[in-house]
């Protein structure tokens, strides 16, 4: 069990790292893009804007 | 054009990881003996080759849009970690990565550890080299598999990683010490920018949106991420100085 936890912890740390909110923001942004596309809007512009916001919020948290 | 970015990204990311793996292998080899260290390096290389050989072809069977959605999301989460750390280093909020310091620490720990022989090898030296190469190599495998599968060309991504491996091995053999002159912090910054760029590009395509000009918009996304990161560094520097 502890090996399984260590394996899960390794992958969490590997992909998500020390700011889970940034990863959650990425998932939300992808979901919002898919929802807008489903609604007929070609929302290619959303991810760059969302990444800028997610990155800046994450940096501000780290720098305080 | 996308192929050039693919090779460059795989090369840069792999070079960074191989430099870090080399530091660990050197520390293990110098302090615990080369036989155990090289055996650990060989065993980890075989394990990584098995992972890439098993996962690479399996991923190519997944429909490209679904693959780009998942791969783009993973790369973006992963790439933002690199970019965030690189920006924090450049703005003075995080210490710069120092390969000489890491080498000295690994060497001191390896010297202090007790001696245990298994299968005719110094077990500490073997596991130190094995774990180091496997963990650093997993990041390379992750990048090669994700980049290669999303671009439908694992061979090109593997080529970039292979060139990096040969180059680091040759320079490492000649120097026989940690590669302190490699501009690792700049490389890490570049990798963070590349990973984030591909992450934005593929996750958007995977979500069903279309970039104006398709692949031709990739340099535009790259320029956007670069400008974004430079602006973040400048703002954080100013913020740090105003608090000092």
The CA distance from B209 to B13, in Å, is: 28
A8 has a pLDDT exceeding 90: no
Q: What is the pLDDT of residue B211?
A: 94
Six-digit token string for B184: 């690792």
Examine the pLDDT at B58 and tell me if it is beyond 80.
no
Cα B4 from Cα A57, distance rounded (Å):
32
**Top-confidence residue, B9 or B87:** B87
Identify the pLDDT of residue B178: 67
Contact A55 B228 (CB under 8 A): yes
Measured distance CA(B86)–CA(A50) in Å, rounded: 19
Check B77 against A37: CB less than 8 A apart.
no
Contact (Cβ atoms closer than 8 angstroms) between residue B125 and residue B40: yes
Q: Which two tokens stand for residue B235?
A: 């703002």
Residue B52 has pLDDT above 70, yes or no: yes
The answer to whether the CB of B29 falls within 8 A of the CB of B125 is yes
Residue A1 pLDDT: 60
**Pairwise pLDDT comparison (A33 vs B243), residue with the higher score:** A33
d(CA B168, CA B104): 20
Please, what is the average pLDDT of chain B? 84
Mean pLDDT of A40-44: 95
Residue among A47, A62, A63 minimizing CB distance to B204: A47
| Closest C-alpha among B206, B148, B220 to residue A26 | B206
Segments forming the whole domain that contains residue B139: 2-243
pLDDT digits (tens, 9 = 90+) for B130-162: 988 888 888 888 888 888 877 778 888 888 888
Give the whole-angstrom CA distance, residue B238 versus residue A41. Answer: 38
pLDDT at position A30 over 90:
yes
Angle at the Cα of B14 (from B102 to B222), degrees rounded to 5? Answer: 110
Reported confidence tier of residue B53, pLDDT bands at 50, 70, 90: confident
Strand, helix or coil at B121? strand
Interface membership of B1 toward A (CB under 8 Å): no
- Digit-coded pLDDT (tens) for B69-88: 888 898 899 889 989 999 99
Q: Do A42 and B210 touch (CB under 8 A)?
A: yes
pLDDT at B44 over 70: yes
Contact at CB, B203 and A47, closer than 8 angstroms: yes
pLDDT band at A38 (very low <50, low <70, confident <90, very high): very high
In whole angstroms, what is the distance from residue B159 CA to residue B9 CA?
Answer: 11
Structural domains of chain B, count: 1
Shortest CA distance from B210: residue in chain A = A44
Could you tell me which chain A residue has the CA closest to the CA of B192? A55
Cα B18–Cα B2–Cα B146 angle in degrees, nearest 5: 50
Domain ranges of chain A: 17-62
The answer to whether B149 touches B60, Cβ cutoff 8 Å, is: yes
User: A15: how many CB neighbours lie within 10 A of its CB?
Assistant: 15
Structure tokens given for B170: 């040759």
- For chain B, say whether A12 makes contact (Cβ under 8 Å): no
Residues in CB range of B117: below 8 A, 6 or more apart: B123
Inter-chain CB pairs, A–B, below 8 Å = 98
How far from chain centre, in Å, is Cα B221? 21
Bridge partner residues of B222 (DSSP): none
pLDDT per position as a tens digit, B175-212 = 776 666 667 788 888 888 988 998 999 999 999 999 99
Can you give B195-229 as a three-state secondary structure string?
HHHHHHHHHHHHCCCCCCCHHHHHHHHHHHHHHHH
What is residue B14's predicted lDDT score, i.e. its pLDDT? 86
Instruction: Give the C-alpha separation, B128 to B244, whole Å.
Output: 41
Any A CB within 8 A of B192 CB: no
Q: Is residue B63 very low, low, confident or very high in pLDDT (cuts 50, 70, 90)?
A: confident
Find which of A11, A13, A16, A33 to mutate to test the B interface (most B CBs within 10 Å of its CB): A33
B101 band by pLDDT with thresholds 50, 70 and 90: confident
Task: Confirm or reject contact between B93 and chain A (CB < 8 A).
Answer: yes
Model confidence at B2: pLDDT above 80: no
Residues of chain A found within 8 Å of residue B80, distances taken between Cβ atoms: 22-23, 26, 51, 54-55, 58
pLDDT of residue A42: 95
Percent of the residues in chain B that have a pLDDT greater than 70, as a whole number? 95
A-contacting residues in B 132-161 (Cβ below 8 Å): 138-139, 142
Enter the ipTM: 0.91
User: Residues with Cβ < 8 Å from B100, sequence gap 6 or more?
Assistant: B178, B180
């Amino acid at each position: 069990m502890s090996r399984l936890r260590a394996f899960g912890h390794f992958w969490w740390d590997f992909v998500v790292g020390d700011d889970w909110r940034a990863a959650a923001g990425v998932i939300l942004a992808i979901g919002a893009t898919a929802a807008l596309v489903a609604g007929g809007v070609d929302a290619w512009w959303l991810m760059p804007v969302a990444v800028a916001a997610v990155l800046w919020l994450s940096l501000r948290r780290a720098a305080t | 054009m996308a192929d050039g970015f693919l090779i460059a990204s795989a090369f840069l990311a792999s070079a960074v990881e191989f430099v870090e793996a080399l530091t660990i292998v050197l520390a293990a080899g110098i302090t615990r003996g080369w036989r155990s260290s090289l055996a650990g390096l060989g065993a980890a290389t075989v394990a990584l080759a098995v992972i890439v050989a098993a996962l690479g072809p399996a991923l190519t069977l997944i429909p490209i849009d679904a693959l780009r959605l998942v791969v783009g999301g993973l790369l973006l989460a992963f790439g933002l970690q690199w970019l965030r750390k690189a920006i924090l280093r450049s703005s003075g909020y995080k210490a710069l990565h120092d390969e000489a310091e890491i080498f000295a620490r690994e060497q001191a720990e390896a010297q202090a550890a007790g001696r245990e022989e298994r299968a005719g090898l110094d077990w500490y030296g073997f596991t130190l080299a094995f774990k180091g190469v496997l963990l650093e190599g997993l990041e390379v495998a992750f990048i090669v598999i994700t980049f290669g599968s999303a671009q439908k060309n694992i061979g090109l991504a593997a080529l970039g990683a292979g060139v990096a491996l040969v180059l680091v091995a040759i320079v490492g053999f000649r120097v026989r010490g940690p590669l302190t002159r490699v501009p690792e912090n700049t490389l890490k910054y570049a990798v963070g920018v590349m990973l984030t760029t591909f992450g934005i590009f593929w996750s958007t395509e995977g979500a069903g949106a279309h970039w104006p000009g398709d692949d031709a918009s990739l340099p535009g996304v790259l320029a956007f991420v670069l400008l974004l990161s430079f602006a973040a560094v400048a703002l954080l520097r100013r913020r740090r100085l105003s608090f000092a």
